[in-house]
Amino acid sequence: MTRTDFFNRSGDPQLWLKAGLISGLIVLLYASVVPAMAHTWWNDPAYSHGLLIPPLAAYLAWSRRERVFEIPVAPDSRGLSLILLACLLFLVGKLGAEFFLSRISLIVLLAGLIWTFWGVWRLRILAFPLLLLATMVPIPVIVYNLLAAPLQLFASNVSTEILQLVGMPVYREGNVIHLPETSLGVAEACSGLRSLSSLTVLALLVGFLQCRRLVTRALLFVLAIPIAIGVNVLRVTGTALLADYDQELALGFYHSFSGWLVFLAAFAIVLGAAKLLGVLLDGKQNASG
């Protein structure tokens, strides 16, 4: 079915009935899942970027509508495997009280429906908006805790070593950095995990918009991880230097402002890395082509 065929059939009562039934079932199944996830976005700063993901993914899907409707509809029963997987994830998530599984099942279900009713080629065109939607799902709490503690220790350890290299008499106990005038604790919020999750999402988006090759986009996504961690270490080091000079500079507004400033710096580095990778990798592809 081309775009013209789609609009010609848009008045078909059976088409609207099927779409309405499927939409109603999805709304019924996820009536409690989606609002609970939105509540997490609103109240947890680590996942506040999730508020922007649905409208952004919808815009990207809409911007690709010309390419989607150029491809004829090719229903594929293999898509039912994804729908079945989504149902299993939803069921296991509900029975086991595992929010991640029940939430991610929505993305798997959407992919399965597109594959089943529209075909694999249309699914390929809409793959990135679906991937972007998956980033709105908060990671499991157990995974978050497993990542946060090592990142806290890493940030405090490397920051202590940097401070010692510049001649400041400091020592570390766990995630607490003892300065000459005060002590600075690297809390979970300062582990860098919040900025890491947001920066990797931005790296996905920048890679999609700026890079042509899949390998370039994947490399940019991977590079965003050490960039986020490294910049967070510099933030902790700078906070320690300010706290030794004036403890008030490391608290309240100044502490929050430094977090935003450091994140903007990390984003600028990601943009620079995207342009560099585009020249080195995508440029080579253009030259050879």
Higher pLDDT, 285 or 29: 29
Average pLDDT over residues 93-101: 88
The domain total for the chain is 2
Closest CA to 50 of 61, 39, 65, 59: 39
One domain for residues 213 and 168: yes
Average pLDDT, the chain: 83
Tokens of 144: 């978050």
Q: Which domain holds residue 83?
A: 3-137
Residues 226 and 187 in one domain: yes
d(CA 3, CA 76): 19
Same domain for 112 and 180? no
Residues in Cβ contact with 219 at an 8 Å cutoff, skipping those fewer than 6 apart: 277, 281
- Could you read off the pLDDT of 232-242 as tens digits, one per residue? 888 888 877 77
Q: What pLDDT, on the 0 to 100 scale, is given for residue 254?
A: 67
Q: Of 79, 110, 137, which marks where a domain is finished?
A: 137
Per-residue pLDDT at 285: 47
At 165-199, the pLDDT tens digits run 887 888 787 777 777 777 777 766 666 777 888 88
- Do 39 and 84 lie in one domain? The reply is yes
In 141-213, which residue ranges form alpha helices assigned H by DSSP? 141-165, 193-210
Do residue 220 and residue 177 come from a single domain?
Answer: yes
From 137, 166, 191, give the residue that closes a domain: 137
